[in-house]
Amino acid sequence: MLSSSCANKLYQYIPIRREELPKFLRYSGMMFFILFVYTIMRDMKDTLVITAAGSGAEVLTFLKSYFVLPSAFLFMLLYSKVVDVLNKYKAFFFFAALFSVFFLIFGLFLYPNQSFIHPSQDTVEQLKLSIPNLKWLFALYGHWSFGLFYIFSELWGNVMLSLLFWWYMNNNSSLDESKRFYPVMALLAQFALIFSGLLFRVVNLTFADSLALVVYIITGIILFCIAMTTWIYCASLKYDAPKNWASENEVAAKQTKKKKTSIFDGIKYLYTSEYLGYVCLVVICYGMAINLTEVTWKSFIREYLPSPTDYGAFMGLFSMINGISAFILMLIGSRLLRKYSWQYCALVTPVVLGIAGVIFFIIANFKGHGDLWAYLGYAPLAFLAWLGLSQVVFSKSVKYALFDPTKEMTYIPLSDDIKTKGKAAIDVVGSRLGKSGGSVAQNIMLIVTAGSQMTILPIVSVVFLLTIVLWVFSVRRINGKFVHYLKKDNTASSNAH
């Protein structure tokens, strides 16, 4: 038994009461397995698509722009229909089954029979020669089932985590519980990244001579984790779900309709509100900056580690380091948020990402100078792969620690109506434009030049720098209005008293 003083000290760091522990563990368990699947899918989809014969990191820009984005909107339509017919509680089972069926089909049929279902390599090469400007699109066509795996892996996070899990959490947690549960869960969630990265690395190193075995094992692990998520969800429903699911169906339909209206109304706010416009711009800039960096970095890893299992082992290591770094920086970030101003904390992410990115792009542009690298005593591809890993890991960790909290803080001084509608629009429009904006820019460059990532690297470097400058400018513009709104609220509060 813990003494009362020890229990009080522990409560300061983990503010979970004893009677709340079963509920907290159920929610944390679901989140762990969903993120575990998300991370291991992320590493697997990159390995399959980028290391395929005749492919490269360049195909990611076409995948994200022309396939992932439309698929996400189609899934949103499917989600709305499923919720109308069933309800959000039952929708969890539907989508868990849908993802399970796809990954089962991929593991048992699509991957083992890729030589029959994919076009021949000669056919793909002829298409590339006939229309060289679209060679990366043809490379994707040559391994279309891998692209399908990539799309479903991307949608897993959007549907199972962002929509279903967080709706379930918010719908079954009080405000007091959410304030205490969520920060601890966010920290514990990083262990999903660490363990999934470790497992993915070990599997790739153990079966380095057989990508097929790696795919079968990882597919089995994914299906097992989805089953575990569903099992924990079933256990939670005994305590959380309403007894009359029919009435819940009506409530869910009304809420869905309300949310759709809020998003469209919120888009209008983005045009009329300078403040919300800059907040949306910050979200777009982050998405573009990280996308421009990641695609370039992954193209160097592809050259450095052409073997699929070597590439996979490297990505597993990346996930491990990313989880550890995010855990540490989230602890530091909470202290910075309490000690320093909003502007100071909000500028940390673009400044860190900008400095690290500029160093990465400058060195990357000198990749072809063999005499320089010989003088320095480094292999350029190995150096750029590890430098890029450090840059991406630190950028993503700072994003979790400071970017996300400061972004959410910008909504505090707004009215409830604008806060709800504006946030819905920014989360939908801003995040989508950010993720696809960098990809669209790069695939336009690739189509025009009919080259590779190295060919367009100087232009990508300039676009990255301009994105960071625009990001910093937007933060400074937000800060002026943010401080003004807070002073206005404090004055009104003082007058009321």
Q: What is the DSSP string of 340-354?
A: S-HHHHHHHHHHHHH
CA distances from 260 to 264, 265, 425, 429, 432 (A): 7, 9, 10, 13, 16
For residue 458, the SS3 value is: helix
For residue 74, the SS3 value is: helix
φ/ψ of 493, rounded to 5, equals -65, -40
* Domains annotated on the chain, with CATH: 20-242 (1.20.1250), 253-483 (1.20.1250.20)
* Single pTM value for the model: 0.84
CA distance 71 to 64: 10
Q: What is the DSSP letter of 119?
A: P
CA distance 5 to 328: 26
364: closest CA among 435, 301, 450, 444?
Answer: 301
Q: What is the DSSP letter of 120?
A: P
User: How remote is the C-alpha of 354 from its chain's centroid?
Assistant: 19
Torsion, Cα 489 490 496 497, to 10 degrees, reads 160
For residue 142, the SS3 value is: coil
51: closest CA among 301, 291, 221?
Answer: 301
CA distance 53 to 75: 30
24: closest CA among 164, 129, 181?
Answer: 181
Q: Please list the pLDDT of the chain residue by residue as tens digits (497 residues).
A: 455 555 555 455 566 777 778 888 888 899 999 999 999 999 999 999 999 988 989 899 889 888 888 888 788 788 878 888 887 788 899 999 999 999 999 999 999 999 899 999 899 999 999 999 889 999 999 999 999 999 999 889 878 887 788 778 777 777 677 667 777 777 888 899 999 999 999 999 999 999 999 999 999 999 999 999 999 999 888 877 665 554 444 444 445 444 444 455 556 656 667 788 888 889 889 989 998 999 999 999 999 999 999 999 999 999 999 999 988 888 887 777 778 888 888 899 999 999 999 999 998 888 776 666 766 667 888 888 999 999 999 888 888 888 888 887 787 777 666 665 666 567 666 676 777 788 888 888 888 887 888 888 999 999 999 999 999 999 998 888 777 666 655 554 444 44
Torsion, Cα 158 159 161 164, to 10 degrees, reads 140
